[in-house]
Chains A and B, each alone.
Chain A
Amino acid sequence: MTPLIDPKLIQLNVSAKDWRDAILKAGHPLVKNSLVTDNYLKSVIKIAEEMGPYIVFMPHVALSHAKIEDGALKDGIGLTVLKEPVPFHNKDNDPVKYIFTLSSTKANGHLDQMAQLVNLLSKNDFFETVSHANNVQEIINYVNEFEGEEK
Chain B
Amino acid sequence: MKKAIITCRAGMGTSTMLTVQVRNVAKKNNWDLDVSHTSIDGIGSFNGDFIIALSDVADDLRAKEKKIPIVGIKNMMDQNEIEAKLAPLMNE
Q: A interface vs B, CB < 8 Å?
A: 47, 50-55, 57-59, 63, 65-68, 70, 90, 92-93, 102, 104, 106-111, 114-115, 117-118, 121-122
Contact = CB atoms under 8 A, between A and B. Distances in A.
B85 interface: no
B55 A92 contact: yes
B14 to A, nearest CB: 5
A65 B19 contact: no
B77 A122 contact: yes
Interface residues of B, number: 31
Given A54-B53, A54-B55, A67-B10, A108 B16 contact: yes
Given A54-B54, A54-B55, A118-B21, A109 B60 contact: no
B56 A90 contact: yes
B75 A63 contact: no
A120 to B, nearest CB: 11
Contacts of A50: 9
Interface in B4-24: 8-21, 24
B82 to A, nearest CB: 12
Contacts of B11: 67, 107-109
Given A57-B76, A58-B75, A121-B77, A108 B56 contact: no
